Structure 1
């Protein structure tokens, strides 16, 4: 400012007059037209990668699917463990994942039960008439002796408390 040759010793009234002159100069200056967003950036539609397309398809399918584990239960468990999410898609994905995990364990327990009952029948050597039911007609019960090895296959160690032995 001092390099412009202006006098730095101005009175308050001179400074107000100078400021008013600068404001009128700014107001009289032509205002350039603002460009719209369309003029500034041209966005080219990029096709989704296969992973992104599959994720979009999964999310679309999950909107209509109701998992066995209710979303409210999953959200309650997540909140109690310290995970706070407001996105219902994440809660739905976790619900479906938990359902898949539980069904895998139960299916493995069923296979252990079938193997165990088949081995018991063959080791006894004789079968009564009522044991020769069609395998599709047979009803199975989930027992701890089938569940423990199925959980062990998934990395979960489970032991009976000593007072049940």
Structure 2
């Protein structure tokens, strides 16, 4: 029984020749079909230019500015932390953006802690009633020290709860 449509009366060489001819014909047909598909694809694909939105322009501008900027938090540290959190191969531009965001977050906390320190020292001076000439310095000349009592409210403002260990009391 010939299940693939071959004639039972053919010799093996005639069978091989007819199989080769069939393959060549099917390859030629595929080649012709591929050419016609390419032609129709080119004809049917008329690319319409989409106007660039202002957000895309701003993003491109930000990325070009970040190429030259070196954030305080090194990219290698940010990449290491991101990989430790489960990120795989990360685009260097994304690592740079995360570094800048981390720098901004730390800067905001430090600035808030400074404001708490200034208000605390001002309140202490006014509540004492008397102050020496040493305390009457120009506020710009005064040096501030980051203390836990200033850092704790600043962190709380950003949603971070931190408690001092008992042995520091």
Question: For this structure pair, what is the TM-score category when the shorter chain's length is used for normalisation?
Answer: 0.7 to 0.9
1:163 Cα shift? Answer: 0.9
| Pair 1:125-2:124 in alignment | no
Using the alignment, how far apart are the partners of 2:119 and 2:24 within structure 1?
A: 94
TM-score of the superposed pair, with normalisation by structure 2: 0.81
Partner of 1:141, secondary structure, is coil
**Distance apart, 1:42 and its partner CA:** 2.9
- TM-fit CA distance, 1:25: 5.8
Per-residue CA deviation, residues 25-69 of structure 1 (Å, 9 max, x unaligned), is: 67888x759457865633232122222222211111111111011
Q: CA deviation at 1:83?
A: 2.0
Match of 1:14 in 2: 14
Does the 8 Å CA contact 1:85/1:91 hold for their aligned counterparts? no
Q: How far, CA to CA, are the matches of 1:158 and 1:27 in structure 2?
A: 72
Distance 1:24 1:161 in 2: 82
Change (3 A) 1:38 1:59: farther
Provide closer, same or farther for how the CA distance between residues 157 and 18 of structure 1 changes in structure 2, counting only shifts above 3 A. same
Correspondence for 1:69 among 51, 68, 73: 73
Rounded to whole Å, the distance in 2 between the matches of 1:83 and 1:143 is: 35
Structure number with higher helix proportion: 2
RMSD over aligned CA atoms reads: 2.7
Alignment check: 8 A CA contact 2:6 2:15 kept: no
Structure 1 residue 147 corresponds to structure 2 residue 151: yes
Note if contact 1:113-1:140 (Cα within 8 Å) is conserved in structure 2. Answer: yes
Note the 1:58-137 alignment, pairs <5 A.
Answer: 58-137=62-141
The CA distance in 2 between the partners of 1:149 and 1:138, in whole Å, is: 22
Q: TM-score, normalised on structure 1?
A: 0.83
